[in-house]
A = this chain, B = another copy of it.
Amino acid sequence: MSKLVAKLRPLRTKIDRLDREILKLISERADVVAQVGTVKRRLGLPIRIASRERKILRTLTDLNTGPLPSSSIAAIFHSLIEECRRFEASSCEIRDNSHFAQSQNQVKTVAVIGIGLMGGSLARALCKYAPEYRVIGFDPKLSRRATTEFKLTNTIQEALQADVVALAMPVSAILAFLRKEGAHLRPGTIVFDLGSTKKLIAETAKRTLPRGVCFVGGHPVAGKAVGGFANSEADLFQGRPFVLSVGSSPPERRAAREIERLILRIGGRPHRMNAADHDRMLALTSHLPQLLATALAATASRTLGRRLPIHGSAFFEMTRVAESDFVVWKDILETNKLYIANILVSYQNILQSFINYGDGRATQALFDEGCRFRKKLRLKKESSC
């Protein structure tokens, strides 16, 4: 037995050595990819050229002599190409935005209030990609030792002196902050939030913030399955939409441009949308999917008892977000109750038509409509980098 165990060690050492060599080649490949990106940008070519990718995959699977099946080789290289492409896209964007750094000769301070997944990622992203900002972090629950990347303060007063105050908390905490601290902000400050619903926050900001303090509502449509500062990362916003809801006065619009610059610097894609439209859109694309996944997992749990099901990949992926914590969702469901109920009713009507199946023609029409929509969505995604 112990002889067998001893056999594992040299094999694992060999795997580790191979992994280091693979890592080196991958980094070399990324360097070349960045050069290709520069040329492509000058030529006005898209980052992704699907035919070139297909050709690479075909060549490699043809060259493959095992032992891995070609489907595995394709999966591994698909992931490699995808990550290189993402890097190529983000490095182009950073270069595209580099003139901002030069145009900003005044150092601005950004206070990030709430250093969880979102706040931590925002602070890290600013430190990494936008060194022209000075970053302060404030979170009563976070020990000073948790990060050395940006300055932490344990007095809310210091955080409130910043030029930009970013509220990176659950919606109810943002509302509570606006009600309690809003009035103490000094004129000239830009307040900016990262909450998941926008309408109630915008209304509350309007009521609570003093004259001269500008508010910009924000929502990065980015995330991770796991929360907390430990899982935050500087690249969380790369290539992701970042919705901004902006008031109509000239100072508010100037403030929004300032926040837009900040978002571009950290790799996000700013997208203006008024608060009500945002909440309606997210009711459809985020809140409804969450409820559908939860309902699917709960239905399965009730139907199966303690058994686990025989299932394919669709069931597995369509229940994924059912693992979300209700703590995160409570605020969203409460502050977007009406739009969610509206979209649920439309959705229920379609499900009802499946129950009344009939001759299948109505169902066929729905399949065709859904299929057309999803194809457009996929093609847009595939061509977006």
Contacts and interface: CB of A to CB of B under 8 A. Distances in A.
Interface in A274-317: 281-282, 284-286, 288-304, 308-317
A107 interface: no
Interface in A45-104: 52, 56, 59-60, 63-69, 71-73, 75-80, 82-84, 86-87, 91
A63 B23 contact: yes
A354 B343 CA distance: 11
A345 interface: yes
Given A15-B29, A243-B310, A320-B374, A75 B79 contact: yes
B303 A39 contact: no
Nearest to A15: B32
B381 A360 contact: no
Closest 8 CB pairs of A and B: A297-B370, A72-B83, A79-B79, A285-B311, A301-B373, A326-B367, A322-B370, A295-B350
B27 A25 contact: no
Contacts of A146: none
A345 B302 CA distance: 13
A31 interface: yes
A72 B81 CA distance: 10
A348 B348 contact: yes
A221 interface: yes
A180 interface: no
A385 interface: no
A376 interface: yes
Nearest to A42: B4
A269 to B, nearest CB: 10
Nearest to A220: B312
Interface stretch (A184-192, A245-253, A328-336): A328-336
A120 to B, nearest CB: 14
